Structure 1
């Protein structure tokens, strides 16, 4: 019998590992266990499915189980791995449809279990939707279509804001509640204020520094409102967007090491230390932060796909290394694009890094061109060495993707003095004669 690679988790990291392993070794037996009914789906697209901008849920699936099977990968959906025995090289697997357990052998293992939603432990929370899966999104869409005029979204991060926008698109009155004093805690407060302005400009009521105490239910067990430290808010629809944590329970019980971040510890080859033939990738693992120089847990699909590729290549004898992360992320919320990379000013302060922060307000296009709108760029640079360490952008259409230029500059270790002279493109429909990146870098260099 030939070698067998088992994969726990059938989304971005897991199926990237499977596909890359299959390309490298056509004779390898590959089996992937996924507890849901879907593989390789876009969780990032779920708010747009709820909004109705993406009508069919199948459009969110990059590759179905049958497509993976056609490539020689034994995909078993609605199969949950309950336990891993590393000594015996066996998995205990529950077929969730048949309610039957089985034992599955493996030679190599990739753990790609993702992350769990973390709703607050309050009465009534079981009647809400985290809207992190296609099934949950379908249920929420059904509830919206059945009626109701008011919605509450709990959590003011990326997902919470995207879901609030989706519900506004469905013509609901939306209240966004967060326990923090600002939205988007991955941004500095001055930049997050522009995000709040955008949300309130779309008639989203924003309630900050408020603790959610209870989801109020009607006689049929459906939401009728939310009780907060600021008072009760009526709502027929309640969406939880309070964050996620790494899904490490099965791996930890098997003896795999958990890092300080609460995620699985791996080396730069995605290997689990002390366990030959075991790799892990995606939202459940730690990644090396290139600026903080320590492991962090960042849950982004970009990292999951890359780490899954590395795990799949290395499980078949390759030698790829994951070079680390900067935390680059982007979203569009209420017609305003929000992006960040590297360190915020507050993160640098917490890490005792002496920095200078500079913010400029400029235009997305040539000021005279139709459609030009305001955008803000904030740069964080080392006070002594002048290297760019972080950037944040909030602005209208075309603003956000400039974060990629700034992420590249951080990756390359460039100073703001060098960045201000970059040869960047110009045409009135897409930029002023000096791109906002250059304007911000010049201002930072002057500081």
Structure 2
């Protein structure tokens, strides 16, 4: 809908007819807000909706068709095949935007279709989960997967008073972090009351009367009244692949900087596409709403006759578990080494405010930099209130290919309620610069 809206801004309805197909019942909503809806921070599902279908139809004159699934694309005949309203029909196009999002991972194990096993990909999923919680009053929740969604849903279940167990096949939660920083996240989870079952592979689900009763892992059985799946997602690129559109090595649709695919007049944006990582210079598939909105905007501007690009990503992300905040940007140590960099790292501990000021919390920052040049390659943060958003300063430095020495002179704000005299970012940069000088 970002693409549709931007195209409409530049071309009126008598110049450009816009048809949008959505297989669900909701458009233009915050999927990232679903865990907070479940936790109770957001009162109603409608609160997550940015624009209602009527606004697109009436104000922007976009022909938005809900409960309509595109099942095929024919780039030669310039038409899509649609199933909706109890029929199948074809719709012609001159320009096409593919924004099919991601396909959530679903385990192919016994019992996976039992009642009480929920994913949280879209708003309908969140509404169904809320209904299940209200109808069945579960006491024991098992979250499978220790990524962003897994952590956020673990918090949501804790907030609702459930006993929570988190299962992950990796040896740490948040495997996009280095092991030392992931260990801090594991400690924080345990401190909040989450039982961690790490290094355990999912084997299946036991059921009772059609409902989930236990989760079976490689290390045993875990009783469960409710299961939340947070196993990640892959690009939903099958529709494009079947149409002969080029797919990249990550499984995402290959696009150029303007979001054009290999097919003339066909664009793609969002979780279904492959991105360029600006640090590693390698293709990546990173599913984030921030990227999706920017990409959709670029595609719409170009379709509308303007010029816009999406240059790539650096992998900035943030989440929290109760009072604990986690953030990362750029490359992890393993990712940097895989990209061919010789790296070193430093970890520093500071406080989010002046140490004497009430409410000062601990914050740990890890800097990953290139050996010889000192160029910043990545950063990770684990802390409490006021910690995580400091990743933005590091992301900007990363975007502009700054060295850790250059970062030590950044003019960051200071006042005791917000930071020590030396902001934690500056402390981390200084320690990284000193480490490089000592090594040379």
Shorter-chain TM-score category? over 0.9
Aligned counterpart, 1:101: 88
Aligned counterpart, 2:267: 279
Aligned counterpart, 1:415: 403
Aligned counterpart, 1:333: 321
Aligned with residue 149 of structure 2, among 148, 159, 162? 159
Aligned counterpart, 2:245: 256
Matches within 5 A, 1:276-425: 276-425=264-413
**1:282-303 deviation digits (Å, cap 9, x = unpaired):** 1000111111112211111111
**1:146-201 deviation digits (Å, cap 9, x = unpaired):** 21210100000000010000000000000000001111011101011111111111
Give the deviation of 1:41 after TM superposition: 1.3
Aligned with residue 102 of structure 2, among 105, 111, 115? 115
Matches within 5 A, 1:199-238: 199-219=189-209, 221-238=210-227
Aligned with residue 177 of structure 1, among 155, 167, 175? 167
**1:70-103 deviation digits (Å, cap 9, x = unpaired):** 21111111100010111111111000xx321111
Q: Report SS of the residue matched to 1:428.
A: coil
Aligned counterpart, 1:8: none
In 1, Cα distance between equivalents of 2:279 and 2:250:
16
Q: Report SS of the residue matched to 1:83.
A: strand
In 1, Cα distance between equivalents of 2:338 and 2:276:
18
Determine if the alignment matches structure 1 residue 242 to structure 2 residue 231.
yes
Give the deviation of 1:317 after TM superposition: 2.3
Determine if the alignment matches structure 1 residue 28 to structure 2 residue 16.
yes
In 2, Cα distance between equivalents of 1:239 and 1:355:
37
Aligned counterpart, 1:18: 4
Does the 8 A contact of 2:81 with 2:89 survive in 1? yes
Give the deviation of 1:441 after TM superposition: 0.4
Q: Report SS of the residue matched to 2:129.
A: helix
Q: Report SS of the residue matched to 1:268.
A: coil
**1:394-430 deviation digits (Å, cap 9, x = unpaired):** 1101111111101101111111111111111111111
Aligned counterpart, 2:33: 45
In 2, Cα distance between equivalents of 1:216 and 1:48:
29
Does the 8 A contact of 2:351 with 2:420 survive in 1? yes
In 1, Cα distance between equivalents of 2:297 and 2:340:
35
Q: Report SS of the residue matched to 2:18.
A: strand
Aligned counterpart, 2:438: none
In 2, Cα distance between equivalents of 1:309 and 1:144:
37
Q: Report SS of the residue matched to 2:89.
A: strand
Aligned counterpart, 1:9: none
Determine if the alignment matches structure 1 residue 196 to structure 2 residue 181.
no
- Where does structure 2 lack aligned partners over 5 or more consecutive residues? 436-440
- Where does structure 1 lack aligned partners over 5 or more consecutive residues? 1-14
Q: Report SS of the residue matched to 1:17.
A: helix
Q: Report SS of the residue matched to 1:238.
A: strand
What TM-score comes out, normalization by structure 2 length?
A: 0.96
**4+ aligned runs moved over 6 Å, structure 1:** none
Does the 8 A contact of 2:350 with 2:364 survive in 1? yes
Does the 8 A contact of 1:198 with 1:334 survive in 2? no
Q: Report SS of the residue matched to 1:201.
A: helix
RMSD: 0.9
Does the 8 A contact of 2:109 with 2:205 survive in 1? yes
Aligned counterpart, 2:113: 126
